[in-house]
Structures are given as C-alpha cells and as structure tokens.
C-alpha cells in the first residue's frame, strides 16, 4: 500500500508535465482506436459474411450479367438449399452525395438467405405483395426520415430513368455487425420495366446467392455450379460470400495497410514522448534512489517505483483515450455513414488500446529503471537535479 501511495505521489510531483503526458497518450490512444475501427469497418462486410452462403457471378467480371434461366439449374445441384438473385441497381436519391447500397432482388428468397435482417412479419407480407415496394435498413430510414408508405424516387444510373418505390418494410440487424443502410426492392419490378424500354437487358441478373446445407460442402457446390455452366456463353465464378467480399477489399488493400501502419506509428511516437518523460523523472530522482539504497531498499523496489509510475501515467491516458473513442467514433461514423455503414468500436480495439498502453508504459521505464538500479550510491548522492 505504501508503494502505491509513493507511486501516485511521484506521478504528480510535476503536475504540468504529467498532465501533458497523459493528454498526449489520450490523444494517441484515441487516434489509434479510431484508425483500428476504420480498418474493422473496412472488413465489416467480410466479418458479417455467412459460411453457408455462396455468390455466383459472371466469370469475366461482375458487370457482365447471367441469364435468369440459371436459377433452376443451380437449385438442382446437390447441397443447394435455396437460390436467390439480384442486380446492383446503383440508383441515386435526390443528389449524388446521397449514396447508399440499393439492390433489385427476389425478396422472399433473399430474406430467407439473410435471417440476420429482422423484418416484422406484417411488413414482410405487405412487401411481398407490393411490386413497387421496398425495404430499407433502420439507419437509412432514420437518416432520411422516411415513414412506412412513403414514396421514394431514385434516379437510375445503370438503369436510366426515374424509379418510384414505396417503403413497405424497415429491417433491423440481428446484431451490431449487420449493415442497416441497405435498400432492396423487387427484381420483377426492374425486369418488367426493362422488357418495355431495354428488352435486350431483360431476364438477366447480376449475381446469384446460393444457400448450402453446411459450410463443408462449399467447395464442392462451387465447383459443381461452375462446371454446370462451363463453355456456355456466360460462364460463372462461384465462391463463398466471404471470398466475394474479400475481392472488393483487395482492390483497396494498399489503403488498409497504410492505415494499419499509421496506427502503429502513432503508438511509437507516443512511446518516445513517454520515454522522455520517464527519463527526466528518473534523472531528477537519482539522489533519492541512492538514499533508498543506503536505507536498504533493493533494486526490485526501485524498479517497481519507476515501472509503477510509468504504467500509472500510461494507464491513465489509456482510460481517458478509450472513453473518448466511443463518442468520437459515433460522430465520425455518422459523418461517414455512406462509406462505413458499420462503424462500431469493437472489444478487440479496446484490448489493443490496453495492450498498447502497457507496452508504452513498460518500454518507457526500462532504461530509466536500469540506470537507477545500476548507478553506485556515492555517484547517485553527488547528483543534484
């Protein structure tokens, strides 16, 4: 208890220096936490992927379509339990800056394949009956203040024209990792319009979503699907949903790596600041440590004093930084919701914050502790300031 009391008093002997050091650590932990949360948000789609879902697309590129007739052939493959399909619509709401994911899908099978989208049964029933109906995530509805029954107009980009939709369902995510900013409507509504205006683009889908019995048959089912359509006019590339999501991440992998490097550079910089603080503190107290040695206190006690002070300061900064990370992430997430629909501070990020503070506190005390323990008593007593 006496040791802890002495550590606390030593930490605040120079209050301004300690305050500035804690502030610096807090800012560093805050920056580190936000950067790690950005990386987690980048991989949110990958983490939310289910092992029992496959995605099949055109083998050449995602921009090339597949015939609607593939659906029944895929359904007949052993191991397949459900098949849905859809197109990336790419519509714009009012202005180009209002970007959000919007899809044309077969809603019944789509919702069966995504049980993590919680949609009330009464809303689901109305959605399935209304050809112009659409469902949207809770966050998207709250952002634009839509209400059930409202008509929402999207301007087509990939599919030109003005498209009217009626909000029939608002889904919630089963947990925090589920994207609640999606907008999906009836594929049939899109297809019927294409038959009138662009008949060459009708009866074609951008991707197939395939439900399988269990993850163990994913490779076999993927191979069977691709083999079924091999040498056809539209060959397929089938992969797990996670692999499909990772293909998008790989396009921006350099950015992700850069963010990760910056997050660790922040920790290295604050470690240098902390090491400087502890070096000054230990140098000022060399004579005091020499007195402690003459009184019979060994190197272990002195080492505990220095490490304890360093860890106390770094821990205080870490706690403040973690507390600040949550409101900062909320503000940042709301501002960048169109790019990062899922922006939550995970427990892994908090654990990394704590680990970083321990490393900073421990590493910063090594050299000062070594010098304090190794210096001779006579030499230490001659030191002033």
Q: Give the pLDDT of residue 131.
A: 92
Q: In the numeric block, which tokens belong to residue 346?
A: 């995970």
pLDDT in tens, 91-104: 999 888 888 889 99
Q: State residue 77's pLDDT score.
A: 94
pLDDT digits (tens, 9 = 90+) for 130-153: 999 999 999 999 999 999 999 999
Q: How many residues does the chain have?
A: 385
- 52-87 pLDDT tens trace: 999 999 999 888 999 999 999 999 999 999 999 999
Q: For 18, phi and psi rounded to 5 degrees? A: -65, -40
pLDDT tens digits for range 335-358: 777 677 778 888 888 999 999 999
Ranges of H-type helices in 285-346: 286-294, 299-335
DSSP at 198: -
DSSP string, 57-87: EESS-TTS-EETTHHHHHHTSTTEEEEEEEE
From residue 119, alpha-carbon distances to 164, 172, 178 in Å are 22, 7, 13
Task: Specify the pLDDT at position 147.
Answer: 95
Task: Count Cα neighbours of 131 within 13 Å in the Cβ-side half-sphere.
Answer: 6
Cβ(194)–Cβ(201) under 8 Å? yes
> What pLDDT is attached to residue 371?
85
Could you give the 3-state DSSP secondary structure of residue 92?
A: strand
What six digits make up the tokens of 373? 């323990």
User: Residue 245: pLDDT above 90?
Assistant: no
Separation CA 171–CA 143 (nearest Å): 14
Does the pLDDT of residue 233 top 60, yes or no?
Answer: yes
State percent of the chain over pLDDT 90: 48
Q: Which of 118, 102, 42, 26 is nearest to 344 (CA)?
A: 42
* Residue pLDDT, tens place only, 180-220: 999 999 999 999 988 888 888 889 999 999 999 989 999 99
Specify the pLDDT at position 98.
Answer: 82
8 Å CB contact between 345 and 325: yes
Q: How high does pLDDT run on average in the chain?
A: 88
- Cβ pair 328, 30 in contact under 8 A: yes
Q: Kindly tell me if the per-residue pLDDT of 366 is higher than 70.
A: yes
The pLDDT of residue 138 is: 93
Q: Does residue 384 carry a pLDDT above 80?
A: no
pLDDT at residue 322, rounded to an integer = 94
Q: Domain spans of the chain?
A: 2-44+252-382, 60-234
Q: State how far the alpha carbon of 249 is from the alpha carbons of 39, 103, 149, 256, 324, in Å.
A: 11, 20, 36, 9, 29
Which 3 state secondary structure label does DSSP give 93? strand
Question: Which pLDDT belongs to residue 1?
Answer: 62
| Parallel, antiparallel or unpaired: strands 236-240 and 183-186 | unpaired
Residue 35, token pair as written in the block: 């950067």
* Residue 201 DSSP symbol: G
| Long-range Cβ contact pairs of 94-101 (< 8 A, separation 24 or more) | 97/338, 98/144, 98/338, 99/338, 100/140, 100/181, 100/182, 100/183, 100/338, 100/341, 101/179, 101/181, 101/182, 101/183, 101/341
- pLDDT at residue number 185: 96
Q: Does pLDDT of 127 surpass 80?
A: yes
Q: Is 168 helix (H, G, I), strand (E, B) or coil?
A: strand
Phi, psi angles (nearest 5°) of residue 121: -60, -40
3-state DSSP call for residue 146? coil
26-34 mean pLDDT: 91
The alpha carbon of residue 318 and the mean position of all alpha carbons in its chain are separated, in whole angstroms, by 21
* Predicted pLDDT at 248: 73
Distance CA 325, CA 310 (A): 22
Residue 150 is predicted with a pLDDT of 94
Q: Strand, helix or coil at 283? A: helix
Q: Distances in Å between the alpha carbon of 200 and those of 14, 59, 193, 225, 245? A: 77, 20, 12, 25, 29
Give 218's DSSP letter.
H
Give the model's pLDDT for residue 79.
Answer: 93
- Residue 257 pLDDT > 60: yes
């Amino acid at each position: 208890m006496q040791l802890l009391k002495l550590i606390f008093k030593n930490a605040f002997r120079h209050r301004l220096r300690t305050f500035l050091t804690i502030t610096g650590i807090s800012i560093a932990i805050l920056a580190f936490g936000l950067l790690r949360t950005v990386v987690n948000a980048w991989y949110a789609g990958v983490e939310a992927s289910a092992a029992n879902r496959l995605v099949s697309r055109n083998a050449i590129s995602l921009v090339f379509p597949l015939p609607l007739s593939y659906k029944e052939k895929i359904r007949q493959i052993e191991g397949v339990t459900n098949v849905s399909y859809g197109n990336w619509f790419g519509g714009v709401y009012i202005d180009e800056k209002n970007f959000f994911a919007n899809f044309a899908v077969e809603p019944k099978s789509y919702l069966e394949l995504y049980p993590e989208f919680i949609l009330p049964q009464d809303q689901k029933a109305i959605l399935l009956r209304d050809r112009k109906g659409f469902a949207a995530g809770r966050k998207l509805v709250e952002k634009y203040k839509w209400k059930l029954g409202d008509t929402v107009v999207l301007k087509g980009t990939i599919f030109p024209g003005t498209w009217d939709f009626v909000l029939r369902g608002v889904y919630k995510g089963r947990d925090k990792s589920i994207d609640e900013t999606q907008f999906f409507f009836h594929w049939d509504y899109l297809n019927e319009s294409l038959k009138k205006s662009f008949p060459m683009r009708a009866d074609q889908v951008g991707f197939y979503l395939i439900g399988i019995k269990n993850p163990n048959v994913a490779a076999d089912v993927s191979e069977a699907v691709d083999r079924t359509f091999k040498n056809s006019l539209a060959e397929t590339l089938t992969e797990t949903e996670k692999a499909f999501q990772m293909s998008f991440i790989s396009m921006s992998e350099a950015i992700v790596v850069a963010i990760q490097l910056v997050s660790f550079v922040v920790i290295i910089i604050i470690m240098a600041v902390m090491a400087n603080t502890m070096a000054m503190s230990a140098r000022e107290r060399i004579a005091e440590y020499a007195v402690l040695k003459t009184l019979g206190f060994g190197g272990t006690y002195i080492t505990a004093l220095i490490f304890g002070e360093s860890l106390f300061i770094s821990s205080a900064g870490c706690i403040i930084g973690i507390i600040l990370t949550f409101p900062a992430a909320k503000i940042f997430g709301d501002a960048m919701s169109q790019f990062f629909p899922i922006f939550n501070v995970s427990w892994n990020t908090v654990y990394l914050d704590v680990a970083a503070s321990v490393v900073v506190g421990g590493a910063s005390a090594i050299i000062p502790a070594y010098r304090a323990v190794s210096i001779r008593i006579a030499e230490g007593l001659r030191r002033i300031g």
